[in-house]
Structure 1
Amino acid sequence: MSAVSLITGGAGGMGLATAKVVGRDHSVVLCDVRQERLDAAAAELAGLGISATTVHCDVTDRDAVGRLFDGAAVAGTLASVIHTAGVSPSMGDAEYVMRTNALGTVNVGEQFFARAGEGAALVNVASMAAHILPAELIPTAVFPAALQDPDTFMAEMLTACEIAPEEARSGIAYALSKSFVRWYSVAQAERFNGKGLRILSVSPGSIDTEMGRLEEQAGAGAMVADAAVPRWGTAEEMADLLAFCASRKAGYLTGTDILNDGGVIASMTERTRLASQ
């Protein structure tokens, strides 16, 4: 059977760019919440000689994610899941951002754990935002509840967002939800390895995609200007990294997060150090 790479958010900038890379030697299954964009993505891939199976799926719907994996099983043997589906602060309120980014990751990750065979890899997309918040503001003790009691998890995480005024809570929810993605990708590594599976995350900086540009006026633009590499990253640069992390070449890579932000966090950290002298 064909080796299959399942890409969530597959019609988005990073997802589609990644499909163009992994589609060279894998069957590709794309899911997204927007059918018209899925159709356009499939047509673009077909023009490159890549045949993609498309599935309309909301990753916050656990049953829908189960059906997504059913479809991937029909396409072949699951080799990797590259989970790019997510939303930014400008796309909804704190509850929507938290549910999509955090619980969506659990839904995808737990289906992957239940169904994938030895040697398969799950690569989650976190964010440089997960590297910015001070550790004392991140309610890590609440994180395990996402796997056992999602309602309690959501209530506790939304309470944690109340440190910010109402208008800023979607931004805090984004940073906390991506901190959760980073945690999940580290904390579950030993459990996943028990089945011969890999799990890790990649934290992009400001990437020149439709979703990335939504945050240009909300601080991302200023961070880009002050980065060690003072430009926006490209979807293709992220795609090559995501594809490598999911590949057999990265067989020793698990339980970690890779920050690919053009040096934004490094620059911010050094400027803070110098300012404190």
Structure 2
Amino acid sequence: MKKQVNVVIGAGAIGIAIARRMSAGKTILIADLKPDNAERAAKTLREAGFQVETTTVDISSKSSIQDLVKRACELGEVHGLIHAAGVSPSQATPEVILKVDLYGTAVILEEFGQVIAQGGSGVVISSQSGHRLPALSAEKNKILATTPSDELLAQDFLSTKVVTDTLNAYQISKRGNALRVMAEAVKWKDRGARINTISPGIVITLLALDELNGPRGESYRNMLARSPAGRAATADEIANVAELLMTDAGAFITGSDFLIDGGVTASYWFGELDYLQPTSNT
């Protein structure tokens, strides 16, 4: 019997918390742009009794993602995909955000969708930001969901001449992630596998700390203070939901997006944060 493999893309706190829940008796393959990040996470997991391999991946590169898929398949059958890599509005330009968060996720879903094992499952970590983008047209939704990855960034409304703000690029990318997962779930069912999206609010990770201390930090702190929960989340709280989605307990759930933000989005549209609502649709 082939070894079962869980692939974790992004060696941050959320991906590793999910891997701990899902990987007893399996091989974990951690892939990150920075080898030191992957090795640091692997050391912690190995000391907890897990079997772990590491590799590097640049999710803005299709060939790099294909190399990751090849490496995973060399280790065994891919039963789990945990995609938790990306860049935030404070870390990159609109062009890079679209290439990494939107295009990269599309490629990952396409490529792993061709090898995911029968009974396998995956989660894509998206963001609450996708829920704060005004409604897109049905045509744009379909483009984001179904356009082949190689053609995705050539769409007019995704041009960096149109998308000039980093937060807008991030919101479009995260909305696109949820839509793409819906479309890919239809394809993954042919392999007897499931895929879902989780859209967290602010979770205390290195990425979140960059945001809280970045140019939008005051806005984010205000967002937390005025939300129903009144705080940020922990990575383990996100892993609680991922565990449901990736096990048999969630066998009837696929193509869905789960918003876990402590009520920030609710407050944004209907509560104390409603003054932040945009004035026009995209």
Q: TM-score normalised to the size of structure 1?
A: 0.89
CA shift, 1:148, in A, is: 5.0
Contact 1:145–1:152, Cα closer than 8 Å, also in 2: no
Distance in 2 (alpha carbons) for counterparts of 1:252 and 1:235: 24
Alignment pair present for 1:145 and 2:147: yes
Number of equivalences: 268
Distance in 2 (alpha carbons) for counterparts of 1:142 and 1:72: 29
2:191 to 176, 189, 195: 195
Gaps of 5+ in 2: 276-282
Partner of 2:159: 158
| SS of 2:8 mapped into structure 1 | strand
Partner of 2:279: none
* CA 1:267–1:75: 2 relative to 1, 3 Å: same
The residue type equivalent to 1:204 in the other structure is: P
The residue type equivalent to 2:184 in the other structure is: Q
CA shift, 1:159, in A, is: 4.6
| SS of 2:87 mapped into structure 1 | coil
Alignment pair present for 1:228 and 2:224: no
Contact 2:268–2:274, Cα closer than 8 Å, also in 1: no
Map 1:61-140 onto structure 2 (within 5 A): 61-136=61-136, 139-140=140-141
What does the per-residue CA deviation read over 1:150-184, in whole Å, with 9 as the maximum and x for residues that have no partner?
Answer: 3414x53135744xxx5xx1111000000100110
Gaps of 5+ in 1: none
* CA 1:223–1:272: 2 relative to 1, 3 Å: closer
| SS of 1:135 mapped into structure 2 | coil
CA shift, 1:273, in A, is: 11
Distance in 2 (alpha carbons) for counterparts of 1:61 and 1:91: 18
What does the per-residue CA deviation read over 1:183-204, in whole Å, with 9 as the maximum and x for residues that have no partner?
Answer: 1011222222133221210100
Give the CA RMSD over aligned residues. Answer: 2.2
Alignment pair present for 1:176 and 2:172: yes
Contact 1:33–1:56, Cα closer than 8 Å, also in 2: yes
Kindly indicate which of the two structures has a greater share of residues assigned to helix: 1
Contact 1:142–1:157, Cα closer than 8 Å, also in 2: no
The residue type equivalent to 1:128 in the other structure is: Q
Q: TM-score normalised to the size of structure 2?
A: 0.88
Between the aligned residues of both structures, percent identity stands at 26
Contact 1:86–1:101, Cα closer than 8 Å, also in 2: yes
* CA 1:92–1:148: 2 relative to 1, 3 Å: closer
CA shift, 1:243, in A, is: 3.0
What does the per-residue CA deviation read over 1:218-270, in whole Å, with 9 as the maximum and x for residues that have no partner?
Answer: 13222111111111101111123223312232111101100011111122233
CA shift, 1:59, in A, is: 1.3
Contact 2:113–2:187, Cα closer than 8 Å, also in 1: no
Partner of 1:215: 211
Contact 1:120–1:198, Cα closer than 8 Å, also in 2: yes
